[in-house]
Amino acid sequence: MEHHDSRDTVNAFTVDVEDYFQVSAFAPHIARSEWNECECRIERNLDRILGLLDEHGVKGTFFTLGWIAERYPTLIRRISEQGHELASHGYGHQRATEMTHDAFLADVRLAKLILEDIAGNEVRGYRAPSFSIVQDTMWAYEKLEEAGYRYSSSIFPIRHDHYGIPHAPRFAHRVKLDLLEVPATTVRLFGQNLPASGGGYFRLLPYVLSRAMFREVNQVDQQSVVFYFHPWEIDSEQPRIPGIGLKTRFRHYVNIGRMEARLACLLKDFKWGRMDSIYIDCP
């Protein structure tokens, strides 16, 4: 096979803009009605992330909750003004699996409207909270197209206890006439897809292993990596949530203190860009 240099491939650097108390796994412990009382840490965390990207000359895509955008419009404008793509993460971090068709459409329309109103740019991308476009929610694509989105990054082609379609295509594919799905990145091993996209997996695995998986996707699959993480993943001082189970605690807090240094390595070792530049505006 012809060798393909991973340094030639532009990968998608994406951030899911939500705060620690909005994580789906914490939903049984923090009621939505209590969000306004929680200490918000999104500003300081995004400030660090924007600084890190600026330092490495990288532009990325920020999938942002409408709930956050309403409360921090200056921060949202800053993301856009610094040359990053502003995309939608829905309004209130509700999984598609928990919503009716009409409620989902209202949610994705509202988020798009809020983000566009604040930043003054068209919002073309969407990522479902907790990758909740699964086999039972494929109807969501029709609603996303109806709401005017051009692409979604809402499927994780793996087996997982909370999300995933193990047999879904691993790379970008058209799901509606005017809508592209760009799944979270996986590597193929022993006949199954293994997660290689970021988030908790990136914190858990040794950096050299993540780097090897990304290189494989670039060189062997000759595809861009879709990397994602959340602002709370660099925040080792965030309030600890009492009463959560061991698995949830491990998934949420593992290696948070090492995350920022790993991100710096990642930004240095690969070429990164915005989702829309790679998948929508490409020739």
Under DSSP, the state recorded for 206 is -
**The pLDDT value given to residue 1:** 37
Under DSSP, the state recorded for 162 is S
Residues 201/219, Cβ–Cβ less than 8 Å: no
pLDDT, tens digit, for every residue of 96-114?
999 999 999 999 999 999 9
Of 154-168, 171-185, 192-206, the one with minimum mean pLDDT is 154-168
Instruction: Tell me whether strands 179-181 and 173-176 are parallel, antiparallel or unpaired.
Output: antiparallel
Instruction: Provide the b/e sequence for 227-254 (b: ≥16 CB within 10 Å).
Output: bbbbbbbbbeebeebeebeeebeebbbe
Q: How confident is the model at residue 6 (pLDDT cuts 50, 70, 90)?
A: low
DSSP of 21-79, one letter per residue?
A: GG-GGGTTTS-GGGGGGSPP-HHHHHHHHHHHHHHTT---EEEE-HHHHHH-HHHHHHH
The two structure tokens encoding residue 13: 């650097």
**If we measure between CA atoms, which residue out of 250, 255, 251 comes closest to residue 236?**
255
**The pLDDT value given to residue 196:** 87
**If we measure between CA atoms, which residue out of 228, 219, 181 comes closest to residue 200?**
228
194 has a pLDDT exceeding 80? yes
Decide which of 55 and 190 is more confident: 55
Distance from the first to the final alpha carbon of the chain: 25
By CB atoms closer than 10 A (0-12, 13-18, 19+), residue 158 is buried
Contacts of residue 195, defined as CB under 8 A and 6 or more positions apart, other chains included, come to: 156, 158, 160, 184, 185, 186, 201
**The pLDDT value given to residue 161:** 57
**The pLDDT value given to residue 189:** 86
Decide which of 246 and 64 is more confident: 64
Q: Domain spanning 6-279: which superfamily? A: Glycoside hydrolase/deacetylase (3.20.20.370)
163 has a pLDDT exceeding 80? no
> Please, what is the Cα angle at 56 between 72 and 255, to 5 degrees?
70
pLDDT, tens digit, for every residue of 260-271?
999 999 999 999
User: Torsion-angle region of residue 38: left (phi > 0), alpha (psi -120 to 50) or beta?
Assistant: beta
> Please, what is the Cα angle at 118 between 113 and 121, to 5 degrees?
75
For the chain, the average pLDDT equals 92
**The pLDDT value given to residue 2:** 43
**The pLDDT value given to residue 201:** 87
Contacts of residue 54, defined as CB under 8 A and 6 or more positions apart, other chains included, come to: 82
Q: How confident is the model at residue 168 (pLDDT cuts 50, 70, 90)?
A: confident
- The 10 Å Cβ neighbour count of residue 83 is 12
**The pLDDT value given to residue 87:** 98
**If we measure between CA atoms, which residue out of 231, 258, 191 comes closest to residue 23?**
231
Whole-angstrom CA distances from 160 to 130, 134, 157, 192, 228 are: 11, 11, 9, 12, 17
| Average pLDDT for 112-129 | 97
| Average pLDDT for 52-66 | 98
3 has a pLDDT exceeding 70? no
Q: CA-to-CA distance for 169 and 124, rounded, in angstroms? A: 21
283 has a pLDDT exceeding 60? no
| CA dihedral of residues 239, 242, 248, 250 (deg, nearest 10) | 60
| Average pLDDT for 182-197 | 89
68 has a pLDDT exceeding 70? yes
